[in-house]
Amino acid sequence: MKNNFVISDREKEALINYLSGHFSNTDAEILNTWLKKNPENSLLTDRFTDIWQASSYLQINKSIDVQSAWNELQSGLQQNTNNQSHWKRWLQVAAIVIISLLAGGLGSYFISHSQNQKPEPQLVEYVSPLGSRSFVKLNDGSKVWLNSGTTIKYSNTFGNNNRHIELSGEAFFEVAKNEQLPFTVNTGEICVTALGTKFNVKAYKEEKTIETTLLEGAVKLESDVVKLQDDLVLKTNEKAVFTKRNQSMAIVGQLRSENEKDIATPGRPSLKIIQSVDPQPIVSWKEKRWIINNEKLGSLSVKLERRYDVNFIFDNEILKEYSFGGTLEDETLAQVLNAISYTAPIRYVIDGKTVYIMADGKKMEKFKNLLMK
């Protein structure tokens, strides 16, 4: 777009008039002439159109009622189809799903059962809601532990002709050996392939990084979205940290001894491999014993929010900088907060689902005095 790309003010005006729909005969002539000048001009117009459309989504989405559109479509289909019983069965399935959602403590089972038919590929979805963790044993014998606020999806043919899982959130995988069928975990940005291993993947949508930690064996990392180095294989006790970036760009795949300088140019997604990590604190979320390894209150509060389904409000951003370490054994939220307030000059108030964190003046003085000595 740098080479001989020229646009005059009047041409800009015509382009904006075109996008906004207030387009005159003169505008049309000007824009058409400009478009013919250079193929780059067409590309720019297409890109602007794309941005124009996408930027109105959030607004338009508010005015759209998807459920009632869906109901309308269903009744439209009912008129169109002879196979009415099919639709009735569907409604029954919907009812089952809703009931299981209401009853759902651990995972909700999201699958429609078709009777008297050969099994068809269908999507299974397991949800571990905020405030609870769950465990799933898959068809192939593999085990999955889901942390709070995590969803996995897979086909009901899982284990027969594929072992694909889609993950949003954090899960620990203990993969049963099967060299013929690779086990893949797809997070959107990063895809982890394993044959028979134990590994942890943390890929919460709202977090800036995707972290894969390997406890046993080897896994391969791939990406559909960005270009990673070929054959990126993680070994035991290594952790790969992929930093997402909204201005997603070419990936700097970086391995161990290679040039450190190229890692993580700010603003670009990057992948960093950390060697000889202690995996226990990373995967301890699935145990009763939860190990916290010198973590700042800011990031710890995010984990506590998911684990106990609460929201943290900090009186002062500085409080997020206090670090905390220790082992917690199936404590209640109040017990955890008590433990934290012993080591940091903070006070807390729990109000329903909200936790307020404030500075404690008296303790602050004490801490200062200790430092002075």
Partner 1 sequence: MTGIEKELIESLKKGNPKSFELVFKTYYSRLCTYAFDYTRQLETAEDLVKDFFLNFWNNREKLEIKTSLSGYLFRSVHNQCLNYLEREKKKKLEISSDNLYLIELKLRQPLSSDYPIGSLLAKEMENQIEEIIENLPEQCREIFKLSRFDELSHKKIAKKLNISENTVKVQIYRALKKIKEAIPFILAVLFSFF
* 104-133 binders of partner 1 (CB under 8 A): 111-112, 114, 120-123
Contact indicator for 363, 345 with CB cutoff of 8 Å: yes
User: What distance, in Å, lies between the first and last C-alpha atoms of the chain?
Assistant: 64
Residue 174 structure tokens? 């203990």
Q: Which is nearer to partner 1, 79 or 257 (CB)?
A: 79
Residue 96 near partner 1 by CB under 8 A? no
| Residue 310 Cβ vs partner 1, minimum distance, rounded to whole Å | 24
| Residue 57 Cβ vs partner 1, minimum distance, rounded to whole Å | 4
Q: Which is nearer to partner 1, 9 or 231 (CB)?
A: 9
Question: Which candidate, 218, 152, 140, places its Cα nearest to that of 186?
Answer: 152
Q: Which is nearer to partner 1, 189 or 287 (CB)?
A: 189
Q: Which is nearer to partner 1, 228 or 283 (CB)?
A: 228
Rounded Cα distance between 319 and 258, Å, is 37
Residue 22 near partner 1 by CB under 8 A? yes
Residue 49 near partner 1 by CB under 8 A? yes
Q: Which is nearer to partner 1, 191 or 340 (CB)?
A: 191
| Residue 290 Cβ vs partner 1, minimum distance, rounded to whole Å | 31
Residue 6 near partner 1 by CB under 8 A? no
Residue 352 near partner 1 by CB under 8 A? no
Residue 350 near partner 1 by CB under 8 A? no
Q: Which is nearer to partner 1, 116 or 369 (CB)?
A: 116
Contact with partner 1 (CB under 8 A) among 181, 225, 358, 359: 225
| Residue 337 Cβ vs partner 1, minimum distance, rounded to whole Å | 32
Residue 48 near partner 1 by CB under 8 A? yes
Q: Which is nearer to partner 1, 96 or 291 (CB)?
A: 96
Residue 351 near partner 1 by CB under 8 A? no
For strand 311-314 and strand 354-359, is the pairing parallel, antiparallel, or unpaired?
Answer: parallel
Residue 224 near partner 1 by CB under 8 A? yes
Return the range that interacts with partner 1 (CB under 8 A); candidates 58-66, 135-143, 253-261, 357-365.
58-66
Residue 317 near partner 1 by CB under 8 A? no
Residue 100 near partner 1 by CB under 8 A? no
Residue 249 near partner 1 by CB under 8 A? yes
Interacting positions 227-246 with partner 1 (CB under 8 A): 246
3-class DSSP string for the chain: CCCCCCCCHHHHHHHHHHHHCCCCHHHHHHHHHHHHHCHHHHHHHHHHHHHHHHCCHHHHHHHCCHHHHHHHHHHHHHHHCCCHHHHHHHHHHHHHHHHHHHHCCCCCCCCCCCCCCCCCCCEEEEEECCCCCEEEECCCCCEEEECCCEEEEEECCECCCEEEEEEEEEEEEECCCCCCCCEEEECCCCEEEECCCEEEEEECCCCCEEEEEEEECCEEEECCCCCCCCCEEECCCCEEEEECCCCCCCCEECCCCCCHHHCCCCCCCEEEEECCCCHHHHHHHHCCEEEEEEEEHHHHHHHHHHHHCCEEEECCHHHHHCEEEEEEECCCHHHHHHHHHHHCCEEEEEECCEEEEEECHHHHHHHHHHHHC
Contact with partner 1 (CB under 8 A) among 3, 63, 82, 369: 63
Interacting positions 150-169 with partner 1 (CB under 8 A): 153-155, 157, 162, 164, 166
Residue 248 near partner 1 by CB under 8 A? yes
Contact with partner 1 (CB under 8 A) among 5, 6, 8, 12: 12
Residue 13 near partner 1 by CB under 8 A? yes
Residue 321 near partner 1 by CB under 8 A? no
Rounded Cα distance between 291 and 338, Å, is 16
